Amino acid sequence: MKPYRLALNGIALLLCALSASAHADKVRLEFWTDSLKPRFDGYFAQAKKTYEAQHPNVEVVWVDVFNDNFETKLNAAIAAGKPPALVNHDVPRLFKYAQKGTLLPLDAVLGADKAAYLPNTLTDLSFGGKLYGLPWYNNVNVLVINGDLFKKAGLDPNKPIKSLDEELQLAKAIKAKTGVAGLLPQLGQIDGIMLGQGLPLIENGKAVFNSPKHAALIRKFADAYKAGALAKDSLFADDNFQDSVKLYNSGRLAMMETAPTAAQKTQSDARGIYAATVVQPAPLGPTKIVQGGYLFSWAIAKGLPAATQQEAVKFAKFLTSDSQQLAFSKVTGATFPSTRQALNDGYFVKTSAGGGAIERSRIEGAKVAVNIRTLVLTGVPNVGDLKKNLVDNVEAAITGKKDPQKALDDAAAFWNRQLK
């Protein structure tokens, strides 16, 4: 029996060696996301399982990093020469790392697949004529309306609202007739609002947001503020989503121009208001760009081994494919894909009996999703300081502490000193 046992042992050792060798030959593909655990554990587990089944030579490793530590950890990995193969970047961070020269330009590797993505998303991820990320999921604002408050003010909540001017006029009418604030705009993002209204921030290296047209926009907000039409909670904060939802759900705000996720909170926290809620597309400015766009992408590290880079490109295409983007949108329930085919799926088009405001938010958002742009300031030094100075001056103008033209002149002078 001994020779037989020895033979079996030898075969077992050989199989183990072969298995270890096969595992060692696999391409290890580490990809990082930003604060997506634990909600999306199931989605990424399935994506990993599907991709590894299709590519048995690849081992996919998911690492999720909390937002506050993301850049610190990424910088350390890059400095150590061990960057993740793929990284989940928003537009400002993508631009920052493209400037640092740490990302692979993707135009050549994307090839004919480029046609699958919405053109605006490719524009958002292109700097200096080169594409640095594959478009993933996007956000968009919709206009959520308390139909009961509109009717109380003698207004039709189903009448299309087509411009910011109309929103502000309605907000003033609602305040005058019901005593309730009409709108809580995100004035901490005034740079994006200006861009959405076709008003540039910088031209030829100089700040140009102190033109008469820019000042007229600020005066419109100041007039609405003076009339009490604008809610004051976090009016000038960088993000006032939570306050906006809280006010709306308590009947103290008539309109929210906000992300579709707001309707989910209204359904759970204020069923009566949810039943009266009407959803419209957010008004497009003269640029025909809808507010609220914030695109996330997959970027590939420069300097990877050839085999790893090749697989990283394939995996990025997989994660941004029609099927995967659609699957991710269904998990979030409120984000939008950046590929043409996924956006045209019935999930974003067809209504169902009793779908309510959540479904309407998804469908109305999808109607304008081709017009999404991520309207943020990039490509200049000290972006945070520039933006804070502009917002501080705009706040002074809207609250009546400064003349709007003087406030914008002061901000432009500060910007130009910094830009030099």
Q: Is residue 351 scored above 80 in pLDDT? A: no
CB 267 within 8 A of CB 274: yes
Report the 10 Å Cβ neighbour count for 269: 14
Report the 10 Å Cβ neighbour count for 350: 10
Report the 10 Å Cβ neighbour count for 18: 10
The set of residues, in sequence order, having a beta carbon less than 8 Å from that of 337 and lying 6+ positions away, is 137, 138, 322, 325, 326, 328, 329, 343
Kindly indicate the confidence band of residue 380, based on its pLDDT and cuts at 50, 70 and 90: confident
Q: Top-level CATH class of 142-292+363-419?
A: alpha beta
pLDDT tens-place string over residues 62-79: 999 999 999 999 999 999
Report pTM.
0.87
Side-chain half-sphere CA neighbours of 96 within 13 A: 13
Kindly indicate the confidence band of residue 3, based on its pLDDT and cuts at 50, 70 and 90: very low
pLDDT of residue 11: 52
CB 335 within 8 A of CB 329: yes
In the DSSP assignment, the letter for residue 370 is G
Q: Is residue 13 scored above 90 in pLDDT? A: no
Report the pLDDT averaged over residues 328-356. 90
The segment(s) of the chain belonging to CATH 3.40.190.10 are 27-139+293-348, 142-292+363-419
CB 396 within 8 A of CB 222: no
**Is pLDDT larger for residue 154 or for residue 354?**
154
Q: Is residue 18 scored above 50 in pLDDT? A: no
pLDDT tens-place string over residues 80-125: 999 999 999 999 999 999 999 999 999 999 888 999 999 999 999 9
In the DSSP assignment, the letter for residue 210 is T
CATH 3.30.43.10 fits 27-139+293-348, yes or no: no
